[in-house]
Amino acid sequence: MTDLIYLYCITNRMPQPKWDGYGVYSINHQGLCAIVSKVPEDEFGEENLKKNLSNSEWLTNKACRHEKVIEEVMEDGCVVPFKLATLFKTEDSLRAMLKEHAEKIKENLEDLEEKEEWGIKIYCDMERFKKGFLKEDKEILRLDKEISLSALGRGKAFLLKKKRDQLLNDLIDKKINEAVQEFLSGLKQQSLRTRVNRLLPGDVTGRRDDMILNAAFLVEKDKWSAFIREINVLKRQYEGTGYIFGCTGPWPPYNFC
Amino acid sequence: MGNDITTSKDVALVEILDRVLDKGVVISGDIVISVAGVDLIYLGLQALLSSVETMERLRCSPIAGPMQEPT
């Protein structure tokens, strides 16, 4: 049975080994340590890998192991983390990659020294927003009043209702966009770099409210408490109006490599 | 008013997958073998996040992590 080489991350400090049971070791090249393990080709080879990735138990297990190994390496120094199932045919092909990209990886590692990634996900309770506008917005109230007039024909009422719904959606969009800009500008001030990622749909997050911001921030290690403080300032200011804040970290700098 | 952002590290699997599956050099749904002359097999899994069923059921066990309440 053939093995493939699974790459977790690259670091520039030889980490203390602490991965019992995972068969993790390092391949070193010009001051870089690639943290790897051997994995069976019949589990990670092209065909079976596709099958395994749709097996939630397998995926959970491998994703957690991937993250855990990288977090342990992070305890000893900064890392360039790789994606789940980054695989090489042989140790030599990995060495060839290290050789080819050594300078770039070293620059990346130097740049990440004493920094860490924090993740922010902000959600919004749309129903709550809607109710607010329905009760308070003058134009919406005026349209609702007109719609409720019994003298209106069905066709006219339908068109007015459509107009009202469009207006309501526009108002909500505008309000959320303004809030997102404000969240970003506050958090940018407390971080070095920002990456805004795509929003995850409700069937992925398992939440009923809508994700309105999914972002990663690169923060200096000794300034993380100022970053958290800023989130809490925003949270206190906004949570009463239907926003829900989620913050996780510190993460390997997946978004900044 | 709710509490301040809590700082536990019981992170949902979706947080991990959001990072380890979805980034730059991927080709959706495909496996790229031999990128730039190296025998690298890189996975494109953009399609996966939305196709994994009942993601919310999946929770990783807590990851050892350093988060603490800011002072």
Residue-level pLDDT at A190: 95
Question: In angstroms, rounded to a whole number, what is the distance separating the alpha carbons of residues B59 and B15?
Answer: 10
B44 touches chain A (CB under 8 A): no
Looking at every residue in chain A, the average pLDDT score rounds to 89
Mean pLDDT across B7-35: 52
Residue-level pLDDT at A51: 77
Residue-level pLDDT at B33: 33
Whether the pLDDT of residue A123 is over 50: the answer is yes
Mind telling me how many Å the CA of A86 is from chain B's nearest CA?
5
Whether the pLDDT of residue B44 is over 90: the answer is no
Q: What residues in A contact B22, CB-CB < 8 Å?
A: 197-198
**Complex ipTM:** 0.84
Q: What residues in B contact A46, CB-CB < 8 Å?
A: 31, 33, 41
Residue-level pLDDT at A19: 67
Write out chain A in H/E/C secondary structure.
CCEEEEEEEEECCCCCCCCCCCCEEEEEECCEEEEEEEEEHHHHCHHHHHHHHCCHHHHHHHHHHHHHHHHHHHCCCCEEEEEEEEEECCHHHHHHHHHHHHHHHHHHHHHHCCEEEEEEEEEECHHHHHHHHHHHCHHHHHHHHHHHCCCCCHHHHHHHHHHHHHHHHHHHHHHHHHHHHHHHHHHHHCCCEEEECCCCCHHHHCCCCEEEEEEEEEEEHHHHHHHHHHHHHHHHHHHHHCEEEEEEEEECCHHHC
Q: Do A50 and B18 touch (CB under 8 A)?
A: no
pLDDT tens digits, one per residue of A9-64: 999 988 777 766 678 999 999 999 999 999 998 998 877 887 787 777 788 888 88
Residue-level pLDDT at B61: 31
Residue-level pLDDT at B17: 82
Mean pLDDT across A90-113: 90
Whether the pLDDT of residue A184 is over 60: the answer is yes
Q: What residues in B contact A56, CB-CB < 8 Å?
A: 52-54, 57-58
Q: What is the value of pTM for the model shown? A: 0.79
Whether the pLDDT of residue B48 is over 50: the answer is no
CB–CB contacts below 8 A, A to B: 145
Mean pLDDT across A104-109: 91
* pLDDT band per the 50, 70, 90 thresholds, residue B2: very low
Residue-level pLDDT at B43: 36
Instruction: State percent of chain A over pLDDT 70.
Output: 98
Whether the pLDDT of residue A149 is over 90: the answer is no
Q: Do B42 and A83 touch (CB under 8 A)?
A: yes
Highest mean pLDDT among A233-242, B1-10, B48-57 belongs to: A233-242
Residue-level pLDDT at A20: 66
Q: Do B41 and A89 touch (CB under 8 A)?
A: yes
Q: What residues in A contact B51, CB-CB < 8 Å?
A: 54
Q: Could you tell me which residue, B24 or A124, shows the higher pLDDT? A: A124
